[in-house]
Amino acid sequence: MSEINVGKFLQEKSEDLKLELLAGVEGLPRSIKVPDVNRPGLALSGYFEHFPAERIQIIGLGENSYLSTLSSEKRIEKLEKVLSFGDIPCVILARSLEPFPEMLEAHQKYKVPLLRTSMRTSQLAGDLIFYLEDKMASSTSMHGVLVSVYGLGVMLVGNAGIGKSECALELVKRGHMLVADDVVEIRQRSGGILIGKGEEIVRHHMEVRGLGIIDIRSLFGIGYILDETRIELMINLEEWGPDRQYERVGLEEHYTTILEVKVPEVTFPVRPGRNLAVLVEIASLNQRLKNRGHYTAQQLNQRLIQLMNQK
């Protein structure tokens, strides 16, 4: 899992999260190492067992109310104990709370950035976790074409020149959406969800042999492109071989693994006259049925077994 320093986080999210830096500017190089947040209420009261100091700490109304009941000496003592415990990346004051003078002093002393936002605590926590999980997720890149077919993210893979881009172009003509061509950047979100997108500089462009580079957005319009999508099906295109055994019934489920996540995989043999775009559409619809627990081949097999047993 990658890391991000507080300075870069503030640069990227200060506008979205309405963040301002109040103290501890020298701590901006500190690293955020985990995609999670914590409210340090127990730590402020003196209980440090299982205190996750590696997380961003959020101070809301509850913590602020508790600090307001303390004397100035006790308040600085509590704050210094928290800030000196472990390697806290930063502390964020929610709801535009006014920082105590002792808080500003402690953050300057221990060089821990103190930020403030007008957002509610729960909303801030949710937005922070979503951003950090996305930013720090495991990632990789694959050669292929990613399209959204009937709302299902389908990754087309295969040897160079097999017809991936041509198949994707036909799918776009049939009303589906292009996400990425040639190189697909993939990152893993929590829950084993794989998100794919194209490289920024060539996003929404395709390379078609004999034609060159084409701009899908300019040719077809905004409704035929998508910035990113969840990868839910892998379709492998390969040249047909007489000795190769291909799925005829569909009783066996095949998977490939990306970033330790299993993705359903289908292999289509490529031969002259086969309409690959239609096959991809049917495979996508069939996978959507499977995602909802409907396995056609298995159900047909069970009915045949029941019929045979009756005889």
Q: Is 39 a catalytic residue?
A: no
- Tell me the fold of 139-301: Rossmann fold (3.40.50)
For 140, other C-beta atoms within 10 Å of its C-beta total 12
Please give the structure tokens belonging to residue 29. Answer: 């190089």
**Is domain 4-136 classified as CATH 3.40.1390.20?**
yes
161, with CB counted inside 10 A (0-12, 13-18, 19+), is exposed
CB 103 within 8 A of CB 112: no
pLDDT of residue 274: 79
d(CA 283, CA 296): 12
User: pTM of the prediction?
Assistant: 0.77
Catalytic annotation, pick one of 50, 248, 292, 311: 248
| Backbone angles phi and psi of 156, in degrees to 5 | -95, 120
Catalytic annotation, pick one of 78, 164, 204, 205: 164
Domain segments of the chain as ranges: 4-136, 139-301
Over the stretch 79-99, which tens digit does the pLDDT of each residue have? Answer: 999 999 989 999 999 999 999
Residues in the chain with pLDDT values less than 70:
1, 311
Q: Is 215 a catalytic residue?
A: no
Residue with tokens 């308040």: 75
The alpha carbon of 113 is separated from its chain's Cα centroid by a whole number of angstroms, namely 27
Catalytic annotation, pick one of 39, 81, 111, 182: 182
Catalytic annotation, pick one of 74, 87, 134, 143: 143
| CA-only gyration radius of the chain, Å | 27
Q: Is 181 a catalytic residue?
A: no
Beta bridge partners of 198: 184
For 137, other C-beta atoms within 10 Å of its C-beta total 19
pLDDT of residue 311: 67
CB 226 within 8 A of CB 198: no
pLDDT of residue 235: 97
Q: Is 143 a catalytic residue?
A: yes
